[in-house]
Structure 1
Amino acid sequence: MTTTTPSRGRRRAPSRMERAAGKAAALQRPRVILALLLLLALICVMLLDGYLRAEVGGDQRVRTGASSSDVPDDVLDGGPIVTFRGGQATTVSVPDKTIALTFDDGPNPTWTPQVLAILEKYDVPATFFLVGSMVSRYPGIVRDMVDQGHEVGIHTFTHVDLSYQSDARVRREMEQTQLALAGAAGITTTLFRAPYSSETDAIDNYSWPVYKKLGQDGYTSVFVDTDSDDWKRPGASKIVQWATPKKNKGASVLFHDAGGERSQTIKALPKYIEKMRAKGYTFTTISGVLEQGRGAGQQPGAGGTQSTANGPQGTANSLQAAHREATGAILYEGKALVAAVAVAEWAVPTLSVGLMVVGVAVMGRFGMMLVLARRHYRRRNRRRFSWGPTVTRPVSVIVPAYNEKECIANTLNSLAQSTHPIEIIVVDDGSTDGTAEIAESLGMPNVRVIRQANAGKPAALNNGVRNAAHDIVVMMDGDTVFEPDTVRQLVQPFADPEVGAVAGNAKVGNRTTLIGAWQHIEYVMGFNLDRRMYDLLRCMPTIPGAIGAFRREAVLQVGGMSEDTLAEDTDITIAMHRAGRRVVYQEHARAWTEAPGSLKQLWSQRYRWSYGTMQALWKHRKSLTDKGPSGRFGRVGMPLVVLFQIVTPVFAPLIDVFTAYSMIFIDFKAALLAWLAVLGVQLVCAAYAFRLDREKYRYLLMMPLQQLAYRQMMYLVLIHSCVTALTGGRLRWQKLKRTGEVGTPAGAG
């Protein structure tokens, strides 16, 4: 064994390194938080939109046969307006030849403006009982409604049957609708109509406590005397007929301006107004009815009733006396709600389009990988395929090592069994754990140990290249083991003079753990589908640090391993392309590497890879305009890498977010089937990759769980990397903790 010890210079003190690493880590924490906040914001937007568009956990109308024994008879037989002035239930009837025209379930962007236009044309006031979620989505319609002099009431936030809800849910439905009204029109209201309610004689023991509690809070509950049943769409003439009170009596009349197709309502409404006016009827609001009742000596209802802190306050003294001006916190909270909903209304459709684009890109990628991987396999395994004359000349194997005491012996022992003549150069990068001493103690005659002050992996590799005795250099990691035939297989493509670099097939050795198994699936798919595709397209983006080979002159020509990025392997690979060198994939050259054994280490490694890849792509962005054969990577490889390794993965969480969204708010079964279909496509791709690499299929049983857990983590890592890149952050090279459990290749299967 030959040991060379060049001038070491002054080593950096470990405490200084530790301080620098700690400082770098501290700088990353805000970016981690920002990345998580971005994801949380997306989830909140989706949940808000889903809550606005669907009812969750409500309207479980399963109870039947409820008696009304607890409801006072004078309420059951009374008028359609129920107040609780002084805690006493009182009903108010609509005066004869008077119509309190009411509309439920709005606002709706199609039908409500048409209703408002008709009412304005005939100068008819009405009372609209609004669904809070719709108010928050269409605040402009509510503002127009109030500005035109109409009255509004609450119809709950999600159109839920309050009879079967908890007190907290009832309170939340009311408060959220008040917030929506405050944000939309700057008002709150004292009027309430329960979804699925009808006449007062339908009040039962389930709904009566709700009305009593809301009455104590200052709300006036409004029922129906006459129902147009326009939701049945019986035709305009029937709607007019059914909405007409009998014997010139007054009535609270129900129409709908939302909740379905309302063209018949729009057609019937002018006819109804004209008919009732011809019969001598006048139109008013619910507050107008209460005002007339007060003038006639009836109980005034909610007017003048003081509410609880969360309820409406004020005195009724006009046709819109139910309205209260929103001030203070409720006004600003309401505006915040409306603004958040506006964001959700814009974001969700935009994200839907993004989902379609991502979905098409993902499925297109799967299809492209399968087709091109198969073509690559068939081409490389033809009997007549040959790189050229067999390469038999010795090569140099460079092993950069920093604190690899657990692994270095296994690495060197595996190289000692090589069937190809090699020299081994161990470049110890300032290790403090005795790595160099262990390498020397093995007594291998073809091993040279070069010590240098700690300067990083690129510097160690460059030092090895400068000291290499042969024209082909193989680079590997200090925690990797080679099979006996690995080097021989790896260098055969150099028989083709156009080939400047070769990527080998890295495999996970410590695959017995759950994290290891997930990475094993990822590696097999990446190397047997992605790299085969890129090789066939002649735009290989990365030669893995665990196993790669280069022409020594080509490495020196591009300036060696650069320290400009954290992904020196991607950096030099792109540089090779731009120098006109061909980069190929040799699937038969296998290396067994120790994958990170914990989620923290996995995050650290993948974060460095992702961020480094972005740095390398940005560094070589001018490759997009390179001409001739050397510009192929810029024309083909760069767009594919950006699309498939950055853009698509960044937006791929949309698939999972929308799947969860659909399961909760739309159709659980359909969403589940769609997710299983995508999983099935991925399983097919993974199974084919395993077949090409002759791997055992049992690991594919881990794939569903991998999609639920592991993939999400990889998304977060990439988002974190993007945030770091966009904010101009810097990241130090990080050393992972090794265990040395990857021994011989035979034990890794």
Structure 2
Amino acid sequence: MEIVLAACGCIVLYTYFGYALIVWILIRIRGQRPVLKTDTAFMPDVTLIIPAYNERAFLPLKVANSLGQTYSPDRIQFLFVTEGSTDGSAEFLLSEYGSRVKILGGTERLGKVAAMNRAMQQVTTPLAIFTDANTILNTQAVEKIVSHFRDPEVGAVAGEKRILTNASESAAGSGEGLYWKYESLLKQLDSELYTIVGAAGELFAIRTELYEPVETDTILDDFVISLRIAGQGYRVAYEPEAFAMERPSFSIVDEQKRKIRIAAGGFQSMVRLKYLLNPFRYGWLTFEYVSHRVMRWALVPFCLPLILLANAYLAIEAFSSPSPWAHGWSALFILQCLFYTAAWVGYGLEKKRLKWAAVFIPFYFTFMNACILAGLARYLKGAQSGTWEKVRRADEMGI
């Protein structure tokens, strides 16, 4: 039991703390990655692709935000994909902005990935940038992202995802925002060492020629697209000064639905990307992929209950053991009980839409890993489709 507890504990600590520390040390030993000189003449044509299934309420703000980008207007095209929408999205775009944007519509809802595959067939520019309809970009986002493509080794670039929360936000919203700040830090480290391992669909760009049509039942299209490009030998860079802003999920129910779907997509992606587990072929990419993604999805959620059970056994044995470790196991078990009690309290408060900062980190961490286990069950049942599943967001954009 001591071995089980120690092994599982090391996996959890490495995944969430040790990996980041090791990458930071490796970067310091090797030195910073060379910065390319600014080239103001580098301004290739780009297409901004916006999947917009039933996003009529967000479209006026999204179109204005897209047209307001600082990138040269004659170098950027806008393609809105309204496939399957029934809320008048295509009609609105055509009547209000028909001369300034392209619209890829259709009455049949085939799913986001099928729509993206169709959209990429329409792209004639060397670069394509994907962004969600319900997110707002900073005005220099396109300009900042495109600058990385001056490096021929860069095949894709991911922007930063920011969750807009306020002081009265629920625990789920606060936890989601904190999680993405942590993710952004890891992405900065990954990018500096070699490549990031998975872009966020809210904002990422690719070289059009590198796009490979994705299986239409794919759940995490952004993750699969970016990692397949990395698997071709290109780097996926990270640009924190190009960011997409969105509100957190409306409620814990909405956030749970989103997390379980993402987790199911994570297991689906790991199966389809299993070839990346070969360190002899992919080197640093395999190291980063396993440490940052595979261990978090496939190991940590199973280690946590094992740690608790092993610790409970050792704590019970401690009553009759003269071992100097006895009191230590008991103290550790008490701390674990307090942690999960705090998570349970946070869950109860969240259901009442109340926030207590002292418990939202234990709550969100536990909630996130529980959703991964639920996502595995969904994946194994084959109960997930590739069609869009809209999740309600907090009411106001707050921008």
Could you tell me the TM-score, scaled by structure 2's length? 0.80
Which of 115, 124, 134 does residue 479 from structure 1 map onto? Answer: 134
Which of 537, 541, 546 does residue 197 from structure 2 map onto? Answer: 541
Output the CA distance in 1 between the equivalents of 2:254 and 2:193: 33
Residue 263 of structure 2 aligns to which amino acid in structure 1? S
- 2:94 corresponds in structure 1 to 440
Find the residue that maps to 1:524 and give its secondary structure.
helix
Residue 722 of structure 1 aligns to which amino acid in structure 2? L
Contact 1:387/1:492 (CA < 8 Å) preserved in 2?
no
Aligned length: 367
Output the CA distance in 2 between the equivalents of 1:586 and 1:380: 19
Output the CA distance in 1 between the equivalents of 2:232 and 2:181: 30
Find the residue that maps to 2:97 and give its secondary structure.
coil
Q: CA deviation at 1:389?
A: 2.9
Which of 174, 182, 191 does residue 517 from structure 1 map onto? Answer: 174
- 2:285 corresponds in structure 1 to 633
Whether 1:578 and 2:231 are equivalent positions in the alignment is yes
Contact 2:339/2:362 (CA < 8 Å) preserved in 1?
no
Contact 2:175/2:360 (CA < 8 Å) preserved in 1?
yes
Once the two structures are superposed, residues 704-725 of structure 1 have per-residue CA deviations (whole angstroms, 9 ceiling, x without a partner) of 4123322222122111122334
Output the CA distance in 2 between the equivalents of 1:525 and 1:676: 25
Residues 461-480 of structure 1 mapped to structure 2, 5 A cutoff: 461-480=116-135
Contact 1:486/1:590 (CA < 8 Å) preserved in 2?
yes
Whether 1:410 and 2:67 are equivalent positions in the alignment is no
Residues 24-63 of structure 1 mapped to structure 2, 5 A cutoff: none
Unpaired segments ≥5 residues, structure 2: 319-326, 341-354
Contact 1:426/1:449 (CA < 8 Å) preserved in 2?
yes
Whether 1:358 and 2:8 are equivalent positions in the alignment is yes
The structure, 1 or 2, with the larger RCO (C-alpha pairs under 8 Å, 6+ apart) is 2
Output the CA distance in 2 between the equivalents of 1:532 and 1:676: 34
Residues 319-718 of structure 1 mapped to structure 2, 5 A cutoff: 349=1, 352-365=2-15, 366-370=17-21, 372=23, 385-386=35-36, 389-390=39-40, 391-421=42-72, 422-443=76-97, 445-452=99-106, 453-511=108-166, 512-514=168-170, 515-528=172-185, 530-555=186-211, 559-625=212-278, 628=281, 630=282, 632-634=284-286, 636-638=288-290, 640-655=292-307, 670-671=331-332, 704-718=358-372
Find the residue that maps to 1:577 and give its secondary structure.
helix
Query: Matched residues, percent identical?
Result: 23
Output the CA distance in 1 between the equivalents of 2:337 and 2:146: 42
The alignment yields a C-alpha RMSD, in angstroms, of 3.5
Output the CA distance in 2 between the equivalents of 1:662 and 1:405: 57
Output the CA distance in 2 between the equivalents of 1:408 and 1:582: 32
From the superposition, tell whether residues 614 and 605 of structure 1 become closer, same or farther in structure 2 (CA, over 3 Å): same
Output the CA distance in 2 between the equivalents of 1:535 and 1:490: 14
From the superposition, tell whether residues 647 and 373 of structure 1 become closer, same or farther in structure 2 (CA, over 3 Å): same
From the superposition, tell whether residues 673 and 584 of structure 1 become closer, same or farther in structure 2 (CA, over 3 Å): farther
Contact 2:36/2:151 (CA < 8 Å) preserved in 1?
no
Output the CA distance in 2 between the equivalents of 1:582 and 1:615: 23
Once the two structures are superposed, residues 602-621 of structure 1 have per-residue CA deviations (whole angstroms, 9 ceiling, x without a partner) of 12211111111211111121
Residue 536 of structure 1 aligns to which amino acid in structure 2? E
Output the CA distance in 1 between the equivalents of 2:138 and 2:5: 43
From the superposition, tell whether residues 523 and 659 of structure 1 become closer, same or farther in structure 2 (CA, over 3 Å): farther
Residues 178-327 of structure 1 mapped to structure 2, 5 A cutoff: none
Output the CA distance in 1 between the equivalents of 2:222 and 2:311: 36
Once the two structures are superposed, residues 6-37 of structure 1 have per-residue CA deviations (whole angstroms, 9 ceiling, x without a partner) of xxxxxxxxxxxxxxxxxxxxxxxxxxxxxxxx
Q: CA deviation at 1:659?
A: 7.4
Could you tell me the TM-score, scaled by structure 1's length? 0.44
Output the CA distance in 1 between the equivalents of 2:116 and 2:30: 33
Output the CA distance in 1 between the equivalents of 2:120 and 2:57: 25
Which sits farther off after the overlay, 727-736 or 668-677?
A: 668-677
Unpaired segments ≥5 residues, structure 1: 1-348, 680-700
Once the two structures are superposed, residues 611-653 of structure 1 have per-residue CA deviations (whole angstroms, 9 ceiling, x without a partner) of 112111111212334865x565346524652223321233234
Output the CA distance in 2 between the equivalents of 1:447 and 1:715: 41
From the superposition, tell whether residues 654 and 444 of structure 1 become closer, same or farther in structure 2 (CA, over 3 Å): farther
- 1:194 corresponds in structure 2 to none
Find the residue that maps to 2:177 and give its secondary structure.
helix
Output the CA distance in 1 between the equivalents of 2:29 and 2:135: 29
Find the residue that maps to 1:405 and give its secondary structure.
coil
Contact 1:409/1:438 (CA < 8 Å) preserved in 2?
no
Output the CA distance in 2 between the equivalents of 1:439 and 1:376: 47
Find the residue that maps to 2:204 and give its secondary structure.
strand
Contact 2:4/2:307 (CA < 8 Å) preserved in 1?
no
Find the residue that maps to 1:449 and give its secondary structure.
strand
Once the two structures are superposed, residues 515-540 of structure 1 have per-residue CA deviations (whole angstroms, 9 ceiling, x without a partner) of 21111001111112x21232234242
Find the residue that maps to 1:543 and give its secondary structure.
coil
Residue 633 of structure 1 aligns to which amino acid in structure 2? L
Contact 1:405/1:435 (CA < 8 Å) preserved in 2?
yes
